[in-house]
Structure 1
Amino acid sequence: MDRRMYYRSAGLSAARRAFYSYTAQPRGSYGLPLIFLKMLKAQKVITFEEDKERWRSFLCDYIVFRLYIAKYVLKSYARDYSPLTELYAGFKNAEKDWPGFIRSSSDPGWEAAGISFLPKDLSSYTEKEMDNHHEFFDRIAKEAEAKTQDGGHALKGLVSESLTAISKKNHLPLLTPVFWFFEKETAAYAQYLSSYYRGLIPDSYYETVKAHPYRLPKKESDPYTQGFRLAGFILLFIAVITAFLLAAPGMHT
């Protein structure tokens, strides 16, 4: 296998790794849908069965977003070591027949706990539609990057806005536990990709590599997390005031 084919194969492998969880231990060993289902059961905020077809579609769209993340992280490494641009051809091979690619990657938890996580209809994921998804996420990424010079904050903005868009598309509530789950999963996948791409660069080029792993900012300094936290405080404040008014003398007949 020549170097070009090797890197294209590596791109296809990176795309397949998008189906796995990188927060569960050992990392990259369990299918993402299964870990998501366990999170829903543990949090007891919502069940998969309540609206399973929409959740299936959400998960599928999220995997498409992960494929974009694979390209997003690759940019800086390919800039430092140009042969890595061949990985994009591997991604493109996955996108040409995305429904077939998903079905062929069904091992990582698409059928688990007696539940199928695959959407019934995958016909909308055409090659052209995959390009449209990429362009959509690319616009979000550019807007996030325009607001900060810090890669971690830019990634945070990209993830936050993209998850919101995916949830709206599928008419699902982006509850805080769900948001945090996918935020952590995306960050962990981005960090895995950083190690994966760096491992494809010959040792002799390491000194010229400027790219570094993406790390999300700490919650204390993160405006996106603060926004979710603020919303929680507002809801709590309203609940307390309501309880106080209901319990106050003269409020009952």
Structure 2
Amino acid sequence: MAGQTPEVFSAASTGDLDALARDLDADWALAGRMLRWLASRDAHHPAVALPDTLTPGRGSAWALWLRARVAFLTLDLETLARCGARLEAMDDPHARLFARLVRGQRRCMAGDPSSVFAMAATLQDEARALSEPTLVVESVLLSALAAASAEDHEEALKRARLAARMAQSERLWLTHFTTSVLLARARRMTGQPHLAGMIARGCLEVAPALFGGWLRWELLHAGVEPPPPRVDNHAERAASLAAAWLCRGERDVLDPLDASVEG
């Protein structure tokens, strides 16, 4: 099963998953479908549901992690929590790492990043021991998110740039989009909104549809009116509402929304 990781992800990204599905275990087939949903630029791509029962193992852990990433990008905090709980309950080394990544993300989004820096450093070492470059980069990305949540914006920029370089070096194209979102935010928060706008605009042109809400939010705060949303989710609605308010000049009513999205 371990050898199926590159095959299923390659097939999912090229659209050949159906031809490969007969040779995959059910958990890896689910992970591939989840990846194809996350990676799709089709705004009408159907959502992929998680079954009530999953076979413990690496494929199921990846499927849950990918679903958690969708929840993170769309600000679906309930689903993020459920995925984290299911990963916590799974007896698998990859699942345990994914569970802690989700736990760290949730703490940052709740404005409680104090313990996340140490967690991210430990996760990075453990991911290297498992020879999982995606998890290594995600650990660095988590430290950038923690720094941003702690309002240490220079450190957030430093770590986001490192994560972006690592993702590019390892050719982790989907992770690279996530690093670009945080890099745009870090550029904006360090007084470089023009660079944030360039990053967000460039990503929005090529990124999967589910990244749109975060990228439109960054464009808006970089002083660029974002294009209309392509999909409907919490993040897209937040960006659209913020854009409407800014167009009417009611900047003060954005404060609670800023806190909910950036906390």
What TM-score does the superposition give when structure 2 sets the normalisation length? Answer: 0.28
What TM-score does the superposition give when structure 1 sets the normalisation length? Answer: 0.29
Larger Rg: 1
Larger relative contact order (Cα-Cα within 8 Å, sequence gap ≥ 6) = 1
